[in-house]
Amino acid sequence: MNISYQLFKDVIEEEFSDVECHCYLNPDQTATLLLRLNDFKRSNHVIPSIDFRSASYRELSLLIIDIRKQLDELEACGNIRLQA
């Protein structure tokens, strides 16, 4: 499957609209996600080098689920509150 960067960016930023989420295109045509957490330090959670171009829609869905789990774990570990 060939998911465009714009589609990937739109889906990811919409899915994670409850936190400050930015998607960046890397020179090697992968994407980096930067999620700004809602802790007192406004910590960043970075997910580098996502190969979105070769991903299927199913893999994109699994990526979203995995990132959501990571955010839930971060919230559980350290007084981080995700906005609803």
Q: What is the pLDDT of residues 19-50, one digit of tens each?
A: 889 999 999 999 999 998 776 667 788 999 99
Distance CA 50, CA 41 (A): 26
| pTM of structure | 0.77
Is the pLDDT assigned to residue 52 strictly greater than 50? yes
Map tokens 């199913």 to a residue: 58
Longest dimension (CA), the chain: 40
Positive or negative torsion for Cα 59, 46, 33, 83: positive
Distance CA 82, CA 76 (A): 10
Percent of the chain with pLDDT over 70: 86
Is residue 30 within 8 Å of 51, Cβ to Cβ? yes
